[in-house]
Chains A and B, each alone.
Chain A
Amino acid sequence: MTLKTMGVSEKTKELVAPWKGRKGGLIPILQSVQREIGYLPEEALATISEELKIPKADIYGVATFYAQFHLKPRGRHVIRVCRGTACHVRGSLKILDKVKQILHVEENDTTEDLRFTLEPVACLGACGLAPVVMIDDETHGRLTPDKVQPILDKYE
């Protein structure tokens, strides 16, 4: 069943079920909830807490520790601007500035129309193509500031 036909709490229960009674399930559960819902709403965290009998504080602790988890809704597309060493020495800061300027959005923030979320990341491991930006699962390399706008235009 999809999220539309069942509530956040129901969906979360469904995702927790395979992990009941097994060790080490919290992070995979949070990952799958975020994959389905797009972020981690409070209701989902409360449900996980009840289902796994883990204090909410512990769950909150894990969810805020890792960069991957988000407690606020996210844009339809996530722009990851690589700020790794190789990209840095080849001008990734200019790419980041250009994205910010075009979308009027700050780092780790989402545009008002929920189209994009901008996230600088430490390294995408595509250093051979520096500077690099990853939008959703697609990698764009050898960028210059003037290539940013046409790339962003491809994402609705």
Chain B
Amino acid sequence: MALYRAHVLICKGTGCTASGGPSVYSAMQEELKRRKLDREIMLVETGCHGMCEMGPIVVVYPEGALYCRVTPEDVPEIVEEHLYKGRLVERLLYTVPSEMTKIPHYRDIPFYSKQHRIVLRNCGYINPEHIEEYISRDGYQAFAKALLEMTPEKTLEEVKNSGLRGRGGAGFPTGLKWEFARKAPGDKKYIICNADEGDPGAFMDRSVLEGDPHSLIEGMLLGAYAIGADEGYIYCRAEYPLAIKRLKNAIAQAEELGLLGDRIMGTDFSFHLHIKEGAGAFVCGEETALMASIEGKRGMPTPRPPFPAQHGLWGKPTNINNVETWANVPQIILNGAEWYSSIGTEKSKGTKVFALTGKVKNTGLIEVPMGITIREIVFELGGGILNDKGFKAVQVGGPSGGCLTEEHLDLPVDYESLTAAGAIMGSGGLVVMDEDTCMVDVSKFFLEFTQRESCGKCVPCREGTKQMLLLLEKITRGEGTMEDLETLEELAQMVKRMSLCGLGQTAPNPVLTTLQYFRDEYEAHIKDRECPAKACAALIAYTIDPEACKKCGLCAKNCPVNCISGDRQTPYKIDQERCIKCGTCLEVCPFNAVHKD
């Protein structure tokens, strides 16, 4: 085997690819060849590093130096300076926003130093398209250990003792769920991986699928062995083409090595794994709807009981877990339940992956131990609020979650404390909002989503979310009454209590939490006909100060509806009738002559 003195890792995740990762990769490939270094230095395509904001990311080992926002033009300098002369390219290193200091090493960057990576341990480190790289990181060791040294009962026991809970949202104990399926009578059983990651603002599952698909396959193998299933499905949303490609590749490689198929490793255990592409329906993240979709029907939920563990896919006992849950399992079996349960809080064990997005400096994917505070996540890992504006709220758990405020910043993040505060862990979306975000607009935004995605089967969800949305639209237009607020609250409670599935039961959460913590903002929209954050289009107006206007015409040039008139002699003016209040003029004006009131 060839020996290399250094490794250059270039991220090929969706984020870095969109920022130009592939052209950096080909530039690096050519440069290494040109300088005849291609036999000394190995170039590796990896999955997501998590710090998408700083992409394309290039990491050079053995040093572990991380370069941010690399362009093809930077490549010769990296090769010349770092790989030839052994000097870091300072200007491309990560800069800590608060101190303006450069950090050379990956592990010292606050974004990474606070993380505890179990699920993401291989993401950004290995080439996800080679099974050998996964195996070299103890891949399939846990499966071999379980299959050859442990009974299915012992495997199940280990997962149960680890305290692992479902990472898809509800946090149901995984071991217990497996036990239900194991004990259910029936000779044919299925397991399913829910990779229909539909929450807006969540992309942790995608990163695992793209960056380390074998960890999911190994987790499913262990689950199948413990439960006694011989067939499995990965239900992946069609919006993730790269994830599907990498999964197909990973399954083919595992089949070729005999890790999937009949009589694996010479034992009686057989397991076949298939991929089903979702067709674009958020409700299919709900387990009964997901199974209906695999069966080729409209993805509508059914009442439970019967639970999937008794009567699941095609009427057979079925166990469903999401990607992150499955990906935790190999490490639990390999290192033991005791190790896993030593991480986290009393009732929430292990780590959780969050997608940190919105108005925060470092957006991206983080994996942190349960019990970390929101303050640490937003201000230390996230580096604080974008443009150093004021923190207003953090929305946790996607459309089913809730908004938490300043007073919750020191809340330890675990299932119980989040639920007590009115939010939920959900799949782990964390959207940070600053003073410019209108909370009424945010709750309207989420409701627009859940209302559109409601499958229409049960009345409370179908009609209730619609009426709630109409009320919110009325309030953001400045036409609401105080009575509307009461109706809204009443409707929200009703939808929460009466809906058939998780979608409807949680859809009112964003409305209820904002009503609880930001009631004054709702009242300002109603009583004062004012949007305090100046975000609701109907309640604001853009004007140009004729004194400050230098008549450059940038505003008129950029106006999407051409409603600004003026010329070199006359100051520019906005036609209020035609203005769509997009705010583009305010952003492009170099002289701060545009005002928003």
Contact = CB atoms under 8 A, between A and B. Distances in A.
A128 B297 contact: no
A129 interface: yes
Contact of B357 (A124, A127, A139): A127
Interface string B34-56: 00000000000000000111010
Nearest to B238: A68
Given A31-B279, A68-B238, A141-B18, A86 B198 contact: no
Contacts of A90: 358-359
Interface stretch (B25-33, B159-167, B339-347, B580-588): B580-588
B496 to A, nearest CB: 20
Contacts of B239: 121, 124-125
Nearest to B434: A89
- Residue among B53, B364, B398, B453 with most chain A CB within 10 A: B53
A101 B561 contact: yes
Interface string A41-81: 00000000000000000000110011111000000000000
Contacts of A86: 200-201, 357-358, 363, 431
A interface, how many residues as a size bin?
35 or more
A132 B201 CA distance: 12
B564 interface: no
A84 B201 contact: yes
B282 to A, nearest CB: 7
B358 A122 contact: no
Contacts of B17: 139
A125 B14 contact: yes
Given A62-B298, A123-B198, A93 B582 contact: yes
A140 interface: yes
Interface stretch (B76-84, B257-265, B288-296): B288-296
B580 A97 contact: yes
A130 interface: yes
A23 B314 contact: yes
B481 interface: no
A136 to B, nearest CB: 10
A94 B241 CA distance: 26
B206 interface: yes
B65 interface: no
A17 interface: no
Contacts of B241: 137
B449 A89 contact: no
Interface in B331-370: 355, 357-359, 363-365
A128 B364 contact: yes
Given A97-B582, A122-B449, A127-B203, A67 B281 contact: yes
A66 B280 contact: yes
Given A123-B200, A128-B52, A66 B279 contact: yes
A145 B294 CA distance: 39
B379 interface: no
Contacts of A142: 19
A94 B445 contact: no
Contacts of B175: none
B508 interface: no
B453 A125 contact: no
A93 B297 CA distance: 33
A66 B277 CA distance: 12
Nearest to A93: B582
Contacts of B314: 23
A121 to B, nearest CB: 7
A126 interface: yes
Contact of B358 (A31, A85, A93): A85
A38 to B, nearest CB: 15
Interface string B92-124: 000000000000000000000000000000000
A66 B198 CA distance: 13
B363 A127 contact: yes
B301 to A, nearest CB: 13
Given A97-B560, A101-B560, A128-B364, A24 B295 contact: yes
Contacts of A30: 279
Contact of B52 (A31, A89, A126, A144): A126
Interface string B202-234: 110010000000000000000000000000000
A89 B561 CA distance: 22
B478 interface: no
- Residue among B293, B433, B446 with most chain A CB within 10 A: B293
Given A126-B18, A140-B18, A85 B295 contact: no
A93 B583 CA distance: 11
Contacts of B588: 146
Interface string A14-53: 0000000001111110110000000000000000000000
Contacts of A62: 296-298
B558 interface: yes
A98 interface: yes
Contacts of B473: none
A28 B433 CA distance: 40
Contact of A85 (B200, B240, B364, B560): B200
A78 to B, nearest CB: 12
B200 A139 contact: no
- Residue among B52, B201, B558, B580 with most chain A CB within 10 A: B201
24 contacts: A23-B295, A24-B296, A27-B279, A30-B279, A65-B299, A66-B281, A68-B278, A68-B279, A68-B280, A83-B200, A85-B395, A85-B431, A86-B431, A89-B442, A94-B583, A97-B560, A123-B202, A125-B203, A126-B14, A126-B52, A127-B357, A128-B364, A145-B558, A146-B588
